Every structure is written in C-alpha cells, then in structure tokens.
Structure 1
Amino acid sequence: MTIRRDMIEAAGRAKALLGDSAEAVERFVRSRQQADGGFAGRGEAGDLYYTVFAVEILAALDAEMPVRRIAAYLDGFGDGQSLDLVHLASLARCRAALDEAAATQPDRKTVGAMAAMVERFRSADGAFSIKAGADAGDVYGCFMATGAMEDLGMGLAGAQAIVARLGALRRADGGYANDDRTAAGSTPATAAAVVLLHGLEAHATRGQDARETQGRDALATENRRGTRDKGRPTKYEIRNTEYVAMAAQWLLARRHVSGGFAAGPGLETLGMTDLLSTATAIHALATVGARLDDLREAALDYLDSLWRPMGGFCGCGADDVVDCEYTFYGLLAMGHLVQ
C-alpha cells in the first residue's frame, strides 16, 4: 500500500465517529472549490497544495469526486516542469486519486515525464531534497519524493541512500531533524522518518522474498554447473527496527495532557500543541503498530477542541481558520483512534 492510500484509508475510518457531521465536512470541502476547478487554501484562489487535501478528504468520505473539473485544473500544470517538489508531489497525488475515482489508467508519457521531474530533486548523496541540486537530502524531500514515485507507479531507486541519509539525521534522543542545520528533532520530521523507514523495510522484505525465490532457482542451477560464487551475498535487508522503536518513544514523549502533541522537545511542557504534530505522530505510531489505547480519550478531546461546526478543523487552539489541510489531518488522527 502506498503512503497516500494508507493515509486516505485511515482518514476514512473517521466516518464512524463523525456520524452526520461527515456531511458537514463534505459541504465545507466542496465550498472551497473554485471556478478553475482547484480548491482554495486560506485565501480564495485555487491552490494545488490544498487541492490535494480536498481530493483526499472526498476520497476518504467515499464522496462523489468532481473528476472533470479537477482534471481540467491539473492539466494547467502539465508534467510539473515549473513546480517545486512539494507541488510536484501534490500533482502526482491528485492525479493518482482521480485515476482511482474514475477507474482510469494514467498516461504513461506524462508519468515518465513527471518521474524525471522528481529525479531533479535527487541530492548528491543519492537521497532527495526539497531543493534541487542539494548536496544532501532532507527528511521532507525523501518523504515527498518517495510518495510521488509511489503515486506515479514507478519504482524507487536508491532506497539504501535514503535510509543512510535518514540515519545521518537521527539525533541521539531518537528523534529526527529535517536537515543538518537543525540540531533537535521535530515531530513532523520524526513521524515522516518513521513512516519512510517502516515502508522501506517492508518493501525490502517483499523484495527479498522475491529475490530469495529467484535465488534458490539460480543457486540450484549454479550448483549443478559448479559455478556458485560462495562469497556472493544472497540477502539484502534494511534493519531499522530499533531506531523506529526509539523514534516511537520520542513521539510519545511529545504528548501533552490535553491529548495533543507538540512539534519539538520541551514544547509539550508548555502546552504548545498543534494538529499537524498530533496527526502525524498518531499516524506514525499507528503505522508501526504502537498501542493507542492510553492516549485515545485525551486525543479525541483535543481533536474536538479544534473542530468547528462548519465542517472542519483548525490547526491549533490559537487558530480560528478552518482549511482543507487541517481538516484532512483531523480526520487522519480521528480515524486511527476509532476502536
């Protein structure tokens, strides 16, 4: 399962708790669609970044998708040549969601061109960076590029380089910083690293199973021929279980008694929580199978404090603006808390 589909399915489980309020969420999202087919952020103009979250909310709610209007909006971006990595990944996510909604196959030429655009953000160390031409990758770049390649249906080359780069960004306390300039870990970066490492290890395990099946046949042939190279390795694995467990504990330490999670070390003691940190932490913890029973009730209370009757969520207690991004994150967190 891709990163995108995993998040949509989790957000979809929030319907069990939303009840009739699911209709309010759908109405709010539809109200943000603009004349050009895109969905607005905090202004009134269509925005590709916010369109992703609107599309994924509709998918999570199993609501009717205005495919033609959205597709017309996306066509204006072509194959993403003028886009930065965040918006390029947004374009890939949107098109993948529309293909699923319309049960259509992506255009192979466009997919190939977009994959080439993603490769422009490959850093010199073999990972990915938000900035093209960087010497070293960063967590967000790796996360965005990996998700984009998944949504394009393309294989991800250089997984080991990504894992190595994430290892370099791991801090002594178990958290992950986004880049070398940041001394301490952050909750969104740590959550992204956990999801990436978990997914890459699962991918490596599946690949290893296939290689071992092929390898057994090859070894049988080589044994018959007497040509087996006894020094050649037959297993390739990514082993990050210990580091993922440490990161999960780091994330749990960012929890405040209110039920929300803080963006970095020490902020939880000040009660400085936000929905992005809360949702990404809960999603990462759920992804690696952490038990959420002890935090469920308080976290649901926290989400309720950020809910607005118009059908969406605010980003934090000091924020009164409802938008599609935070509404998706609210559903994501809520979906993981369904019993």
Structure 2
Amino acid sequence: MKETISIKMLNTLQKAKTQLSDEAIRHIIDFVLSQMNDEHCFKNKGGQPDLYYTAFGWMLCFILGIKTDVNKMRKYLDSLDIEKLDLIHYAAFVRCSILADLSKNGKIITWLGSLKSKKVKKLTDFSGIPHDNPQSPYSKFIWLSLLEDTGNKLKDKSSFITEVEEYRLPNGGYRNLSKGLGATTNATVAALSVLGQLKGYETNRNVDFLRNLQQANGGFQGASASPVPDILSTATALFMLQCYGQKPKYDPEDFLEAHWLDSGGFCPTLIDETSDVEYTFYGLLALGTL
C-alpha cells in the first residue's frame, strides 16, 4: 500500500526521535506538556485552546509517547461544531479524530491500521479555504491529505494534476495565487507533494528549483519578500526534498540548532523567539530529514 502524506511525515518524525538523546527528548516532552491544558487540548500563541494547534500537539504526543486521556480527547472533539469548520480546521479535526482512535484503551496502534473509509465534505462545500481558492496547490495538498487520511480515493486524478500545473511558473516553482508574480516555498512544496503522491516522486526541474531556494545558512524563506528564513518553510522544503530522494544544497543542522530554544520548543524565526507546538512539530520534522 502506498504511503500517505501523513505516514511519510510520521516516519520522518519517528526518525528524528531516534536521533535524539533521552535528555533532548525529555526536554521536548516537557515543553509539549506545558502547552496542553487540563482538557487535553493545546493552546495557540494567544494561550487559547485551538483545534489547529491540538492536531500538532496530539501528533507530538503520539510520536513522543506522551500518555493522553482518550475520554478527554473525545469530549473536546465532541464539543466542536464541525459544520462550521473551514478546510484547515476540518482537516485538523479529522486528524485529531484519528489520533484519538489510535490512543483508545490506552494502547497506541499504527496510523496505517486506522485508515478506514469515512465520508468527507466536498472541497467546494467549505466556506473557508486557503487564499479563498480551492484550486491552489496548498488547498489541493490539504484536500488530498484529507482524502488519504479518511481512506477516500481521488475521483479525477488527471484533472486534479492539470489544475495544480496551472500554478507552475515558466522559470520553475509554483504559486498559490492565480495572479501571483513569483513562486513561493509553500506553494512549491504543496504542488510537489500532490504531484509526487499522484504521479510518483521523480526528480524534475521544479524539485531543483525548490532545492535552489535554500539560503547558505541552511534555511528556506516562505517567500522572496520574507525578511528571514523560517523553521516551517525549512522543514517542509527539507521534507519534500527527502521525498524526492534529494539532499539539500546546504547543511541545515546549524540553522535548526539556532531555532531550538532552551524551553525545549522551536521558534519560528530568529526575530520571533517564541515557541508553540506547531513550530516544535516542524522543528522535529526538519531534524528527521538530517
């Protein structure tokens, strides 16, 4: 069975864990626990319970072996009105539901064994979609990942691929806005992930374009206008290069080390030295590609 996007990420996170010392893992676990409230959901940068952040937090719990209370997890999910969720939060809800299933009876089972066909809404049924555009590579990436996580098959693969390719720029790379002037790391990673899952991970000029976006310090910027490289863009770019069997142009180890805080979490950039479970997830994902 072909690996889903989620399973590829889980395997990379697991690889990161095997490369860390017990002390380093304990440090990260302490940070993750500091972000969890009594209801077992995770807080955002504002300190409020947040479904999006909870998906990252529960994923880290799954990987790091942090014991969770399934009853509290289920109670939190049952309190949400899923009909009002936008695409991003709906995908987070589905992932959280899977993670709750994985942890039932206090026993962790494999993600792969949890994949059962579940009915999901159509992409065009969501009121909130990234960039207000269901056709963008990032929207397509979230949608394809959601279909994979719920055991659903894409109905028209050919059209899906064609729509993604419409966002490719002549000089390489992809954009998320139909009238965007330049390619971005986010859009290029999303497009390459979709195309890799649907066509196979064969190196091409757009993979080379992504590789060449890396700066000499080891990091990737979200876009050319971004003031500094960030841990999220770096992690997703390194992860996608790994999927295509490519090594980064520069060694990113020092860059990642610089973003690893004394708290045990990772910060977004060197000019924003705050941490949360989302960026800690991406920090570990990046470490898993080394």
Same fold (TM over 0.5): yes
Aligned residue among 12, 15, 40 for 1:13: 15
Aligned residue among 145, 161, 164 for 1:163: 161
Residue type of the partner of 1:165? Answer: E
Aligned residue among 170, 176, 179 for 1:178: 176
Deviations 1:303-322 (A, max 9, x none): 11011121110001101111
- Residue in 1 that maps onto 2:235: 279
Matched, 1:86 2:42: no
Listed as ranges, the gaps of 5+ residues in structure 2 are none
Residue type of the partner of 1:130? Answer: P
8 Å contact 1:118–1:148 — kept in the other structure? Answer: no
- Residue in 2 that maps onto 1:246: 205
Output the TM-score relative to the length of structure 1: 0.76
Residue type of the partner of 1:324? Answer: V
Question: Which runs of structure 2 are paired with 1:179-198 in the superposition (5 Å)?
Answer: 179-198=177-196
Listed as ranges, the gaps of 5+ residues in structure 1 are 123-127, 203-239
Deviations 1:247-272 (A, max 9, x none): 211112211111111223476xx7x2
Which secondary structure state, in structure 2, belongs to the residue aligned with residue 77 of structure 1?
coil
Matched, 1:65 2:93: no
Output the TM-score relative to the length of structure 2: 0.88
8 Å contact 1:8–1:59 — kept in the other structure? Answer: no
Cα distance in 1, alignment partners of residues 170 and 97 from structure 2: 39
- Residue in 2 that maps onto 1:324: 277
8 Å contact 1:88–1:118 — kept in the other structure? Answer: no
8 Å contact 1:11–1:332 — kept in the other structure? Answer: yes
Residue type of the partner of 2:52? Answer: Y
Cα distance in 2, alignment partners of residues 105 and 281 from structure 1: 28
Cα distance change, pair 44–36 in 1 and its aligned pair in 2 (3 A): same
Question: Which runs of structure 2 are paired with 1:67-146 in the superposition (5 Å)?
Answer: 67-78=70-81, 80-102=82-104, 103=109, 111-112=118-119, 115-116=120-121, 118=123, 120-121=125-126, 130=130, 137-146=135-144
Deviation at 1:53, TM superposition (A): 0.8
Cα distance in 1, alignment partners of residues 121 and 49 from structure 2: 26
Deviations 1:277-325 (A, max 9, x none): 1011101100111134x533xx110011011121110001101111101
Cα distance change, pair 290–105 in 1 and its aligned pair in 2 (3 A): closer
8 Å contact 1:121–1:131 — kept in the other structure? Answer: no
Residue type of the partner of 2:153? Answer: G
8 Å contact 2:53–2:277 — kept in the other structure? Answer: yes
Structure number with greater Rg is: 1
Cα distance in 2, alignment partners of residues 99 and 47 from structure 1: 19
Cα distance in 1, alignment partners of residues 123 and 65 from structure 2: 30
8 Å contact 1:129–1:138 — kept in the other structure? Answer: no
Which secondary structure state, in structure 1, belongs to the residue aligned with residue 13 of structure 2?
helix
- Residue in 1 that maps onto 2:26: 23
Cα distance change, pair 191–105 in 1 and its aligned pair in 2 (3 A): closer
Deviation at 1:119, TM superposition (A): 5.4
8 Å contact 1:52–1:90 — kept in the other structure? Answer: yes
Number of aligned residue pairs: 280
Cα distance change, pair 86–162 in 1 and its aligned pair in 2 (3 A): same
Residue type of the partner of 2:281? Answer: F
- Residue in 2 that maps onto 1:264: 223
Residue type of the partner of 2:214? Answer: R
